[in-house]
């Protein structure tokens, strides 16, 4: 091997220098450092990226006083990250962009201007207001993750993602509720959603055996699809581990029969029952051609378990050949486990979105995450806003703006660096941007790009 370029030392260095001297840069190997042309490429790409209509894979588009916005609520003692505090001055910029807000802060006497405006459009009714917000942000389609679709959301633009965790909590939940103050808030709300589904399906009490309970679960999913549902969503990471075992049906049936009318199941019994019902839901999603969404990032509240919420817990489900026809979507890209999450998308039926990450971190950091994702599986990544109202002033409108603006700029920066480093050219960069911002989601939900 003497004299080979693979050999370390002086000879190798000489070979490398010779290769650089004779290889035209445009078709050479990608370089580890971006060049001085990054700002110019960024400006050119951003102009094109701004023209791409967004397909928002995850939002809670809502007025702040609408309790159907989510199946759970903010826990009693939340510690929001710096950028997601309502004191973030970026939200003022959002209000200026969307509404021409005339002040530079949200002092109560100023914020009143904005609150009055929003209350007036809510009172006026109709779907034009939220369609207008999408138009201002160049969002074509937006998935609305809600307990029920709202009359003020235009079903042509807003597609419904419904919650299914409540089916995991039909038994006596006192042990679950008592685990910590967050569960004390979450679990009663799950019970409420379950009762709402029971009412929808004309059930006044829980059915007496597992077969009938399963039929109720499947029928609710079927009916929610008929109402316009495009995906089911699990917030399970807030309540338990995302690791779901595969228990035999008899075991689950025995637990259900013993406890459906009373008595508190042990932790192990409840898990076994839940793991079985979880698989019924996944099976039904496959039959109904519904995507399955998971909250897959660190969540709010002081008791959120990062270990239990780690998306790698889902590996046995995502890699199960029985579910190869079910499309899974890891919302929030598994943050902070974003690298683990992108590798989970190596399976053709697994997708991730960048919702919430674009609000947790500033665009400079989102840029780094997107560089990695785009370099690995660009067909599996999607845009999402996780738009959500904080209060009457900072609404889902402003958070939707924050996510859209942060994502477009971070994406332009990520692609500009990759182009400058010699990974691909600007045409390819725009093609990749289109896939991430719109086409991958449009394809997944069966719409023509
Ligand atoms: Zn969300």
The pTM of the full predicted model, rounded to 2 decimals, is 0.92
Phi, psi of 146 (to 5 degrees): -145, 165
List the single range of 24-33, 229-238, 350-359 with lowest mean pLDDT: 24-33
Q: Residue 266 Cα, ligand 1 centroid: separation in angstroms? A: 30
Percentage helix, strand, coil for the chain under 3-state DSSP, each rounded to 5: 55, 10, 35
- Residue pair 332/310 in contact by the 8 Å Cβ criterion: no
Classified as helix, coil or strand, 294 is: strand
Residue 14's CB: how many other CB atoms inside 10 A? 12
Q: How confident is the model at residue 48 (pLDDT cuts 50, 70, 90)?
A: very high
C-alpha distance from residue 201 to each of 191, 195, 197 (Å): 15, 10, 6
The predicted structure's pLDDT at residue 213 = 98
Give every CB contact of residue 132 below 8 A, 6+ residues apart in sequence. none
Alpha-carbon distance 428 to 309, whole Å?
35
User: What are 229's two structure tokens?
Assistant: 């549902």
Residue 110 has pLDDT above 70, yes or no: yes
> Which residue from 138, 127, 99, 133 is spatially nearest to 115, judged by alpha carbons?
99
Q: Residue 70 Cα, ligand 1 centroid: separation in angstroms? A: 8
Classified as helix, coil or strand, 94 is: helix
| Helix intervals (H) in 394-425 | 396-420
Q: Residue 14 Cα, ligand 1 centroid: separation in angstroms? A: 54
The predicted structure's pLDDT at residue 26 = 56
Question: What angle do helix axes 363-376 and 396-420 make, rounded to 10 degrees?
Answer: 60
Phi-psi region of 334 (alpha: psi -120 to 50; beta: other; left: phi over 0): left
> Which residue from 409, 412, 410, 408 is spatially nearest to 420, judged by alpha carbons?
412
Q: Residue 388 Cα, ligand 1 centroid: separation in angstroms? A: 7
Q: Residue 144 Cα, ligand 1 centroid: separation in angstroms? A: 9
Q: Residue 60 Cα, ligand 1 centroid: separation in angstroms? A: 6
Q: Residue 29 Cα, ligand 1 centroid: separation in angstroms? A: 40
The predicted structure's pLDDT at residue 27 = 67
- Residue pair 354/76 in contact by the 8 Å Cβ criterion: no
Q: Residue 335 Cα, ligand 1 centroid: separation in angstroms? A: 13
Alpha-carbon distance 191 to 423, whole Å?
51
Using alpha carbons only, what angle is made at residue 146 by residues 141 and 150, rounded to the nearest 5 degrees?
A: 75
Q: How confident is the model at residue 69 (pLDDT cuts 50, 70, 90)?
A: confident
What is the tens place of the pLDDT at every residue in 187-219? 999 999 999 999 999 999 999 999 999 999 999
Residue 268 host element (H or E): helix 267-288
The predicted structure's pLDDT at residue 70 = 79
- Please identify which residue in the block is written with the tokens 């405006």: 117
Q: Residue 294 Cα, ligand 1 centroid: separation in angstroms? A: 10
Q: Residue 15 Cα, ligand 1 centroid: separation in angstroms? A: 53
Max CA-CA distance within the chain? 83
Residue 6 has pLDDT above 60, yes or no: no
C-alpha distance from residue 86 to each of 96, 311, 338, 389, 393 (Å): 15, 29, 26, 10, 9
Give every CB contact of residue 108 below 8 A, 6+ residues apart in sequence. none
Q: Residue 146 Cα, ligand 1 centroid: separation in angstroms? A: 9
| Helix intervals (H) in 4-126 | 10-22, 38-51, 90-99, 108-124
DSSP 338-365: HHHHHHHTTSTTEEEE-TTHHHHS-HHH
DSSP 199-217: HHTT-SS--SSHHHHHHHH
Q: Residue 198 Cα, ligand 1 centroid: separation in angstroms? A: 24
Q: Residue 12 Cα, ligand 1 centroid: separation in angstroms? A: 52
Q: Residue 425 Cα, ligand 1 centroid: separation in angstroms? A: 34
The predicted structure's pLDDT at residue 379 = 98
Q: Residue 224 Cα, ligand 1 centroid: separation in angstroms? A: 19
As residues whose CB is below 5 A from the ion ligand 1, the structure lists: 386
Q: Residue 58 Cα, ligand 1 centroid: separation in angstroms? A: 6
Residue 29's CB: how many other CB atoms inside 10 A? 12
Q: Residue 230 Cα, ligand 1 centroid: separation in angstroms? A: 16
What is the tens place of the pLDDT at every residue in 294-320? 999 988 888 889 999 999 999 999 999
> Which residue from 206, 227, 238 is spatially nearest to 147, judged by alpha carbons?
227
- What percentage of the chain exceeds 70 in pLDDT? 93
Q: Residue 59 Cα, ligand 1 centroid: separation in angstroms? A: 6
């Amino acid at each position: 091997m003497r004299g080979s370029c693979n050999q370390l030392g002086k000879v190798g260095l000489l070979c490398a220098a010779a290769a650089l001297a004779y290889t035209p840069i445009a078709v050479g190997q990608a370089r580890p450092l971006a060049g001085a042309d990054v700002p110019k490429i960024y400006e050119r790409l951003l102009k094109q990226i701004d023209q791409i209509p967004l397909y928002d894979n995850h939002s809670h588009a809502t007025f702040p006083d609408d309790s159907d916005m989510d199946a759970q609520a903010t826990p009693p003692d939340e510690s929001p990250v710096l950028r997601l505090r309502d004191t973030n001055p970026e939200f003022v910029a959002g209000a200026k962009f969307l509404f021409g807000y005339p002040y530079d802060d949200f002092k109560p006497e100023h914020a009143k201007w904005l609150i009055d405006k929003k209350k007036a459009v809510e009172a006026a009714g109709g779907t034009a207001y939220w369609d207008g917000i999408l138009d201002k942000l160049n969002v074509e389609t937006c998935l609305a993750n809600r307990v029920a679709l709202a009359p003020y959301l235009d079903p042509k633009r807003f597609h419904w993602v419904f919650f299914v965790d409540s089916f995991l909590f039909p038994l006596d939940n006192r042990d679950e509720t008592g685990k910590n103050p967050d569960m004390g808030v979450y679990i009663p709300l799950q019970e409420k959603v379950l009762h709402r589904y029971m009412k929808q399906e004309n059930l006044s009490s829980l059915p007496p055996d597992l077969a009938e309970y399963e039929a109720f679960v499947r029928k609710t999913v079927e009916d929610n699809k008929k109402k316009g549902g495009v995906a089911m969503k699990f917030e399970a990471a807030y309540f338990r581990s995302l690791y779901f075992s595969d228990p035999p049906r008899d075991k689950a049936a025995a637990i259900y029969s013993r406890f459906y009318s009373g008595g508190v199941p042990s932790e192990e019994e409840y898990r076994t029952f839940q793991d079985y019902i979880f698989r019924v839901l996944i099976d039904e999603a496959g039959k109904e051609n519904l995507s399955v969404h998971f909250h897959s990032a660190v969540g709010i509240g002081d008791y959120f378990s990062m270990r239990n919420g780690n998306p790698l817990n889902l590996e046995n489900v995502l890699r199960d050949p029985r579910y190869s026809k079910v499309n899974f979507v890891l919302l929030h890209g598994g943050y902070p486990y974003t690298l683990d999450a992108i590798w989970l998308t190596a399976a053709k039926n697994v997708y991730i979105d960048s919702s919430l990450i674009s609000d947790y971190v500033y665009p400079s950091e989102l840029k780094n995450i997107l560089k990695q994702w785009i370099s690995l599986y660009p067909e599996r990544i999607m845009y999402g806003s996780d738009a959500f109202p904080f209060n009457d002033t900072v609404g889902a409108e402003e958070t939707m703006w924050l996510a859209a603006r942060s994502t477009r700029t971070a994406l332009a920066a990520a692609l500009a660096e990759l182009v400058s480093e010699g990974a691909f050219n600007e045409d390819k960069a725009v093609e990749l941007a289109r896939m991430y911002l719109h086409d991958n989601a449009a394809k997944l939900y069966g719409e023509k790009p």
